[in-house]
Amino acid sequence: MPRRLPRYDRAFVRRAGFALSCISHIEQARLLGLRSGNEIITLADVEYTYELAFLRIFLAWEQLLEDALTRLICGYSRSSGLEPLRSGAKYYSTIANAEAAILGRRDYELWHSPAQVIQRTRQFLTGSHYELVIASASARIAHMASIRHRIAHSQSHAERQFDAATMSLAGKRYRASRPGRFLRDWVSGAMPPCRWISALALDLGNLSMQICS
């Protein structure tokens, strides 16, 4: 009987929820300060918190991708069964062997790029549900990766990619290309109203559930 793929999506939702609760707390604290005339927490503080929260959310997504693929190529099953292997391939007998196969001679692998994840997946699986889920939202995931890079890197290339991502997602650029300003902004026309960070976290949560269920 094949082992069941753990519900990493539930762990992702918990981690994302904690990050979102942190920004909710700082928003409330800032509002209380404004009402009392004692503005200890500034808008810049709040925006930085949004950036940190999103970075933690996206890192949780990357961890889920790595954990799920490692176990799928070990023969862990989803609700619909095993993922199909490439012709001539066999499922790995241990997690350590699967991790070594994914790494090859490298010290680490990057998981932010959907194109790279799909390419990596095809080294082991063919026509997998895992790949199809990522491919279905590859453009949106790539935009989120650009937001992540802008938080982590200050190069002009990261700035240009971030601006392109916000143009695609929100239809505008943000002053100084600050990710916190975008993530704190409200999604136009969303019902119920929500900020971009919540919308993107929900997207990743839904994709996580599709991968793991």
CB 80 within 8 A of CB 46: no
Q: Which residues contact 54 (CB under 8 A, 6 or more apart)?
A: 19, 147, 148, 151, 179, 183, 197, 200, 201
Nearest Cα residue to 57 out of 172, 197, 187 = 197
The pTM is what?
0.95
pLDDT of residue 38: 80
For residues 103-111, average pLDDT:
89
Average pLDDT for residues 115-143, to the nearest whole number?
A: 97
Domain assignments of the chain as residue spans, ordered by start: 8-212
199-204 long-range contacts (CB < 8 A, ≥24 apart) are: 200/54, 200/57, 200/144, 200/147, 201/16, 201/19, 201/20, 201/54, 201/57, 203/137, 203/140, 203/144, 204/12, 204/16, 204/57, 204/58, 204/61, 204/141, 204/144
Q: Residue 50 in contact with residue 183, Cβ under 8 Å? A: yes
Q: What would the pLDDT profile of 160-197 be if each residue is shown by its tens digit?
A: 999 999 999 999 999 999 999 999 999 999 999 999 99
Give yes or no for residue 1 having a pLDDT over 70: no
How much is the pLDDT for 40? 86
pLDDT digits over 34-84, tens only? Answer: 888 887 899 999 999 999 999 999 999 999 999 999 999 999 999 889 999
Mean per-residue pLDDT over the chain, rounded: 95
pLDDT digits (tens, 9 = 90+) for 127-139: 999 999 999 999 9
178 and 47 Cβ atoms separated by less than 8 Å: yes
60 neighbors 16 (Cβ within 8 angstroms)? yes
Neighbouring C-alpha atoms within 13 Å toward the C-beta of 136: 14
Give the pLDDT confidence score for residue 201 in this predicted structure: 98
Tens-place pLDDT, residues 4-41: 999 999 999 999 999 999 999 999 999 998 888 887 89
Q: What's the confidence (pLDDT) of residue 199?
A: 98
